[in-house]
Structure 1
Amino acid sequence: MFARQPSDHITSFMQILIRGAAVLALAVTINAGPWGGAASAQAAPEAPRLDDLREIPYPARSVAGNFLAAHVAGFAGDTTASATFYRRLFDMVTDDPALLENAFIAFLADGDMSYALRAAERILESDPGNSLAQLAQAVGDIREGRFAVARSRLEQGGRGNTADLTATLLRAWAYAGSGLEEDALLTVDRLEGEAGYEIFRLYHGALIASFLGETEIARTRFSAALEAQPSALSIVDAYARFAARDERTDEAIAAYEDFLETFPRHPIAHANLEALRDDKSLPRAVSSVNEGASEVLYGLGSVGISDGDDLIALIYLRLAIHLAPAHDMALATLAELLESRAQYAAAIETFNAIPAASPLQSGAQVDIGMLLEQLDRKADAVAHLEALIARDAQNREAHVALANIQRMRRNFPEAAEAYTRAIALLGDPGPGDWTLFFFRGASLERMGEWERAEADLRQALDLVPDTSPLGEAQILNYLGYSWVDMDIRLDEGYTMIQRAIELAPDDGHIIDSLGWAYFKLGRYEDAVRELERAIEHLPNDPVVNDHLGDVYWRVGRRLEARFQWERALANDPGEDDREMIERKLEIGLDEAEADSRKSEAGEATDGAREGG
C-alpha cells in the first residue's frame, strides 16, 4: 500500500477533480445507505473495544523486523498494524526520508494524528514543498485556531491542479476564521470558471457566507447549489437549515420532501423534516471553521472512495474527523470504507464513535451487529442485535439484520421468523421492501414450505422497482428455477428464467438455471451449451458442477459426467446433494434417480398410513 509516494496518490486522486461536475457532485452526495430508523433516546449497547476485538501486534525489537512487518501489514491494508510497527520505527530511525514518508502516510490512514503531525514536521524540515505534509500541518493549525499560519502553509503546499482545490477551500475557511469576510469569499471564487469546481464554489461559498452572517450572498449561493445538485444531501440539508433560519420553513420542508422521494428512508433528512414539521429549530449546517474545513475534507474523501482510491479517502476522512470529531457522516463513511477493506474491528470502533444524538446512530449499531458476525463473534452478534430489539421492538433494521445473520447461518426457521417480525413493522410495503419478501420466501423454500415461499416470491416480484433490474432477475430466477426443479410449471419457469437472462445476461447462477430448465425439458444439447457457459462463470460451484455432470450423462459423455460430479464433491455441496452425487458416482444417474423415486414413493406411502 505504501510503495507509492504521497505525491503520486494526490496526483492520481486529484485527476478526477477535473473530469467534470458529474463526478465532483459525488463529493457532496451522501448515500442513503443502510441507515433506516430514527435515533434511539436510550444509550446503545456497549460495543467491544478495538483491542477486545482483535489482537494488536506487538512491535519487533529490530529495525528490519519492524520494517518488514509494517510493509506486509500495509500491503494487506491493515492500517492499525502498519501504524503500530511504524511508530516503533519512527522512534528508532530519524534520517531515512522514504521510511519517514511511509510512516507519515500510515499514521494518517490510521488516524494517529499525534504521530502524523510529528512526522509531517520532520518531513518539512528537508522537503518544505511536500504538499501532503503541509496539508496535515495546516489542518492541525486550523484546529488550533492558527488561521494565518494555516493559510501560509496551504499557499506553500497547494501548487497546481493536484492540490489547488483542497488548498483553496481550506484557505477560504482559514480567512473566515480570521474574520476576513471579503478575502474568504474571493478565495472561494478563485474556483469560478472551472466547470468541475463550480459545485464546490457554490456550496462552500454559501456555507462561508452563512457562517459570516452574509445572508443575501448565502441565500443566492445556496439556491444555486440546490438547483445544481438537488439529490446531494449535504446541499439539501445545508440549504434547508439555512432556509428555516431565514424564515422560509415551507421551502426547507419542500427541499427535504423532494429529497425523500428519491431516498425515502434516509434518517438525516427524515429526522430533520420531522423536526421542522414539529416547529423545532435546526442548528446551522456549519457552526465553526473547524466544521467547515472538515466538510471540505469529507467531501473530497467521498470522491476518493467513488474513484476507488481507498488510501487517499482514508487520509482525507481521518483529517476531516480530526477537525470535527462529531461529524457523523464522515464517521459513517469512514466506517463503511474500513468495512469494505475487511478492517471489521476498526469499523466497529468508528461506528461506535458516531454521536448518540445522531440519526445515524441507530443504523450504526445495527451495522456493528453485522460486523461482529464478520469477526466470527457469533454469540456477540446475536446478543448485540437482540439487545437493540429488546430496547426498541420497532427497530425494523435490527430485525432484518438478525434475520440476515440467521439466513447466512442456514438457520432458516429462525430467519423466517425474524423476517416476519420485520415485515409486520412495514405497514404498506413499498418498492424498497421487496428484499424482505424475497429473503423470507427463500428461507421458507429451504424449509420445504413452498406455498408460503411462492407467495412471498410473487410479492417480491410485484414490489421490485424497474430501477432494480438485477433484483428482478434474482426473483425471476428463484421462482423459475424452483418450478423447473420441482417439475411443475416448466414452461412458465422457463419463460421466467429467459426473462432473468435478459436482465442479467452474465450471471452464472441464472445461466445455470436456464441450462437446468433445458435439461428438465429434455433439450439436452441446449442444456450442455448453457451449462458449459455457466461453468465458465462459476467453475467451482458444486450445483453447476452437478448439473453439468447430469447433462453430460444424458448425452453419453459418461467420463466427463463423472469428472464434474467429482468436482462437485470437492467443492463442498450440501449434505443431501452430497449423498446423491456419491450415489450417482457409484451406480450412475439413471439408477440413482430410480432409487430416489422409489424412496420418495415409500415415504409417501408411509405418510399415508400414518394419516399424513
Structure 2
Amino acid sequence: MNDRARFFAGAALTLALSVVTFAIPDSALAQNKAPSGVEMAETLPGNFLAAREALRSKDIPSQAFYLRAALAQHPGDHELLNSAFVASLANGEFDDAFRLAEELEQRGQKSPLAEMALAARSLKERDYVQAVSRLTPFPKDPLQLATILMRVWAVAGLGNADAALELLDQINDANLALMRDHHAALISDLRGYGYEAKKRWRAVHARDADNMRFNDAWARFLIRNSARDEARTIYLTLQKAHPHQAAIQAALQNLDSGKIPGRATEDAIAGAGEVLFEMGALLARKDSTLSLSLLNLAIFLGVKDGAPQEVMGDVLGEARQYDAAIKAYEAVPASAPTRVYAETRIGEMLQAAERPEAALKHMQTVAFWRQDYLSYVTLADICRAQRKWRDAVGAFTRGIELMGPPSATDWKIYFLRAAVSERANDWPSAEQDLKKALELSPDQPEALNYLGYSWVDKNINLEPALAMIQKAVAKDKENGEFIDSLGWAYFRLGRYDDALVELEKAIKLKGGVPEINDHLGDAYWKVGRKREGVFQWRKTLDLKPDDDIAARVNAKLTSALKELN
C-alpha cells in the first residue's frame, strides 16, 4: 500500500472522531506555517477534510499544513503521522519532515521513505555508518532499488569502493542493469578505477545510447581522459535523438573550446543525490507525491544542475499547480544549460494559469534575450493559443532561422507554422510549409491528412489528396478526423456511398466536431436521406461552430427546409 493509500486507509479511524472538537495546542503548531490564503480549521474533521480536498487537487503545501494541524489535534494517529511526513517532504519542508520521520521511527513504525529521508540527512552530515544502518530494503517496496543504490553510495562514502561494487553486482535483474552499471561507473571513476569505469559506461552506452544523463557522464569521463573524438561522437548521437537541446549544444561548445568538464558526481553524497533524482524522475508519472519527495531529497543532497527542479516543475504543472510549478522552474540555477527550458516552461505555466498577458510578456522577453530556437517556438505556441496568428507565424519563422539545417524530426515546426499561416489567411505559405514537412518526413500522418484535407476542401488536386489521406488513415485507422477527411474526399469525387460509410464511422469515433456533422449531413442529402441530412446540419449548429461554418449550414438548412416543405 503506498503512502497515499495509507492516508485514505486511515480515513475511517480519523473520521470516527468527527464528533469531537479538539483545542489546538499552540506549541504544537508554532512552526506550522500556513500557505498564502490558507486558514486552519478549528476541528480535527475540518482539518482532515481540508487535507483530503488538498490531496484531490494535488495542492501539496495546503495538504501538508492541514495534515500537521490535524496531527497536532490527534497526535496518536499513525496514519496522520505518516501522511503528514510524506506531504511535508513532498513540499520540501525538511525540518518538519525529519521531525515526523524521527517520530515514526521512535514509535517503531518505520516506513521506507522515512528511513530514506533520515539516511539522506545522515549522508549530508557524512555519517555514513548511520546511513548504512538505515538503508535496509523493505520487501516488495517501490523504493527498494533506490534504497539499495543509496546504501551502495554510503558504503562508498566509507572508503570501500570494492565492497560498493560487489553490492551493485548482486543486482542481477536485466531491467536494472542500466542503472547498476551507471552507478558502478560513477563509483569506479571516483575511486580511480579507470578501466572498470570505461567498461561499465560502454555497457551503459550499448544498452541506451540516447539517455542524456548517463551518456553525458560517459562523455565527461572520455574528455577528462583525452578521448575527445569519442566524446564528440556520443554528443552528436545524443543531439540526433534530442534535437535543439540546450545542454547538448552547450556540451559541444565546451568541447570545441577545450574546456575540461568535472565529474558528473563528485562524491558519495552527490552520488546518493543522483539516485534520488533518477528515481524521482522515473516515478514522476506514477506517483507525483513520492516523486516530489525524492526530488526534494535530491536537492537536499546537493544535486546542483537544476534537473530535480525541472522535473518537479513538470510534475506540479501536470497537477495544475501552476504557481508551485513556476516556483520550481525559477529555482533552476541561472548558469544551468537547461535554464532556457525552465524559462520557456514558466511561460507555458502562465498561459495554462489563464494569465495570457503575463505569459506573452514573459516569453517575448526570454526570446529577445536568449535568441534561441526553443524560446521562439514557445513564444509562437503562446501566440497560437491566444489566436495571434501573424505573431505566431513571425515567432515560428525566427525559430526556423535559429535552428540550423532541418532534420527529419523538424517536420513539426513547419507543420505548426502552416497551421497558423492558414489561420492568418495565407494559404500559399501554409501549403509550402506542409510540403516541406512531408519532404522532411514523408510518412507523417498529421501532415498527410492536413495537406490532403485542405486540397479536398478547396476542391483541388483531389486524386493526390485522396492518396495522401488514405496513407494517413492506414497509419491510424481509429482517428476520426482522418476518416472524416477520407469521407470528404470521396464526397468531392462524387463517390457518395463510399463517403457515407466513412463519415458515419468518423462520427462514432470523433463526436462533437461540427465539421464532421456538416459533412455527414451533406452525404445524407446526396444519397437521398434528406431528413437525416437536415438533422445532422441542425446538430452542427447545436455544437456552436465558428461563424463561417454556421453561415454555410444555415444557408443549406434554409434551402433544404423549403424543398422538404
TM-score, reference length from structure 2:
0.88
Is 1:293–2:294 an aligned residue pair?
Answer: no
What stretches of structure 1 of length at least 5 have no aligned partner?
9-53, 592-612
Is 1:496–2:477 an aligned residue pair?
Answer: no
Change (3 A) 1:225 1:398: closer
Deviation readout 1:404-459 (Å, 9 max, x if unpaired): 12222222222222222222333433223222221222222223322222111111
Deviation readout 1:174-200 (Å, 9 max, x if unpaired): 122222333333332332x33233222
Q: Which residue of 1 aligns with 2:328?
A: 350
C-alpha displacement at 1:499, in angstroms?
1.0
Q: Which residue of 2 aligns with 1:5?
A: 6
SS at match of 1:425: helix
Change (3 A) 1:326 1:398: same
The letter of the residue matching 1:574 is D
Quote the Cα distance in structure 1 between the aligned partners of 2:561 and 2:193: 81
Match of 1:426 among 399, 403, 409: 403
Is 1:383–2:398 an aligned residue pair?
Answer: no
SS at match of 1:190: coil
Q: Retained in 1: the 8 A contact 2:150–2:272?
A: yes
Match of 2:169 among 189, 202, 209: 189
Quote the Cα distance in structure 2 between the aligned partners of 1:590 and 1:507: 36
Q: Which residue of 2 aligns with 1:401?
A: 378
C-alpha displacement at 1:66, in angstroms?
1.6
SS at match of 2:90: helix
Quote the Cα distance in structure 1 between the aligned partners of 2:272 and 2:561: 69
The letter of the residue matching 2:199 is T
Quote the Cα distance in structure 2 between the aligned partners of 1:503 and 1:434: 17
Quote the Cα distance in structure 2 between the aligned partners of 1:395 and 1:182: 46
Is 1:151–2:123 an aligned residue pair?
Answer: no
Between 1:411-420 and 1:376-385, the stretch displaced more is: 411-420
Quote the Cα distance in structure 2 between the aligned partners of 1:327 and 1:514: 49
The letter of the residue matching 1:58 is E
Q: Which residue of 1 aligns with 2:40?
A: 59
Quote the Cα distance in structure 1 between the aligned partners of 2:128 and 2:398: 54
Quote the Cα distance in structure 2 between the aligned partners of 1:350 and 1:256: 28
Q: How does 1:69-218 map to 2 (within 5 A)?
A: 69-155=50-136, 157-159=137-139, 162-191=142-171, 193-218=172-197
Is 1:322–2:300 an aligned residue pair?
Answer: yes
Change (3 A) 1:163 1:82: closer
Q: Which residue of 1 aligns with 2:21?
A: none
Between 1:425-434 and 1:409-418, the stretch displaced more is: 425-434
C-alpha displacement at 1:163, in angstroms?
4.4
Q: Which residue of 1 aligns with 2:201?
A: 222
Quote the Cα distance in structure 1 between the aligned partners of 2:281 and 2:85: 21
SS at match of 2:40: coil
Q: How does 1:550-561 map to 2 (within 5 A)?
A: 550-561=522-533
The letter of the residue matching 1:138 is A
Q: Retained in 2: the 8 A contact 1:335–1:350?
A: yes
Quote the Cα distance in structure 2 between the aligned partners of 1:171 and 1:280: 34
Q: Which residue of 2 aligns with 1:569?
A: 541
Q: Retained in 2: the 8 A contact 1:243–1:252?
A: yes
C-alpha displacement at 1:523, in angstroms?
2.1
Change (3 A) 1:361 1:226: same
C-alpha displacement at 1:363, in angstroms?
1.9
C-alpha displacement at 1:325, in angstroms?
4.9
Change (3 A) 1:114 1:448: same
Q: Retained in 1: the 8 A contact 2:57–2:319?
A: no
SS at match of 1:182: helix
C-alpha displacement at 1:262, in angstroms?
2.6
C-alpha displacement at 1:540, in angstroms?
1.4
Q: Retained in 1: the 8 A contact 2:239–2:248?
A: yes
Q: Which residue of 1 aligns with 2:235?
A: 256
SS at match of 1:413: helix
C-alpha displacement at 1:365, in angstroms?
0.6
Deviation readout 1:71-104 (Å, 9 max, x if unpaired): 1221233323322322322333311112222222
Q: Retained in 1: the 8 A contact 2:90–2:289?
A: yes
The letter of the residue matching 1:118 is R
Deviation readout 1:243-288 (Å, 9 max, x if unpaired): 2222333332332233323334332232122212211110111013
Q: Which residue of 2 aligns with 1:34?
A: none
SS at match of 2:535: helix
C-alpha displacement at 1:56, in angstroms?
4.6
Quote the Cα distance in structure 2 between the aligned partners of 1:186 and 1:107: 35
Quote the Cα distance in structure 2 between the aligned partners of 1:276 and 1:572: 56
Is 1:441–2:418 an aligned residue pair?
Answer: yes
Q: Retained in 2: the 8 A contact 1:83–1:106?
A: yes
Change (3 A) 1:380 1:500: same
What stretches of structure 2 of length at least 5 have no aligned partner?
10-34
Quote the Cα distance in structure 2 between the aligned partners of 1:259 and 1:501: 32
Change (3 A) 1:65 1:446: same
The letter of the residue matching 2:256 is R
Match of 2:217 among 238, 246, 261: 238
Q: Retained in 2: the 8 A contact 1:87–1:115?
A: no
Quote the Cα distance in structure 1 between the aligned partners of 2:490 and 2:117: 62
Change (3 A) 1:497 1:162: closer
Q: Retained in 1: the 8 A contact 2:488–2:519?
A: yes
Is 1:452–2:433 an aligned residue pair?
Answer: no
Q: Retained in 2: the 8 A contact 1:2–1:75?
A: no
Is 1:282–2:232 an aligned residue pair?
Answer: no
Match of 2:319 among 332, 341, 364: 341
Q: Which residue of 1 aligns with 2:17?
A: none
Change (3 A) 1:550 1:158: same
Match of 1:267 among 210, 234, 246: 246
C-alpha displacement at 1:161, in angstroms?
6.7
Q: Which residue of 2 aligns with 1:412?
A: 389
C-alpha displacement at 1:160, in angstroms?
5.6
Quote the Cα distance in structure 2 between the aligned partners of 1:241 and 1:301: 24
Change (3 A) 1:583 1:243: same
Quote the Cα distance in structure 2 between the aligned partners of 1:154 and 1:78: 30
Deviation readout 1:497-537 (Å, 9 max, x if unpaired): 11111122111111111111122222222222212211122
The letter of the residue matching 1:253 is R
Change (3 A) 1:457 1:89: same
Change (3 A) 1:562 1:114: farther
The letter of the residue matching 1:350 is A
Q: How does 1:522-601 map to 2 (within 5 A)?
A: 522-588=494-560
Q: Retained in 1: the 8 A contact 2:244–2:373?
A: no
Q: Which residue of 2 aligns with 1:461?
A: 438
Between 1:121-130 and 1:199-208, the stretch displaced more is: 121-130
Q: Retained in 1: the 8 A contact 2:415–2:437?
A: yes
Quote the Cα distance in structure 1 between the aligned partners of 2:410 and 2:175: 36
Q: Retained in 1: the 8 A contact 2:521–2:535?
A: yes
TM-score, reference length from structure 1:
0.82
SS at match of 1:577: helix
How many percent of aligned residue pairs carry the same amino acid? 36
The letter of the residue matching 1:529 is V
Quote the Cα distance in structure 2 between the aligned partners of 1:589 and 1:418: 47
The letter of the residue matching 1:278 is S
The letter of the residue matching 1:152 is S
SS at match of 2:135: helix
Question: Alignment length, in residue pairs?
Answer: 538
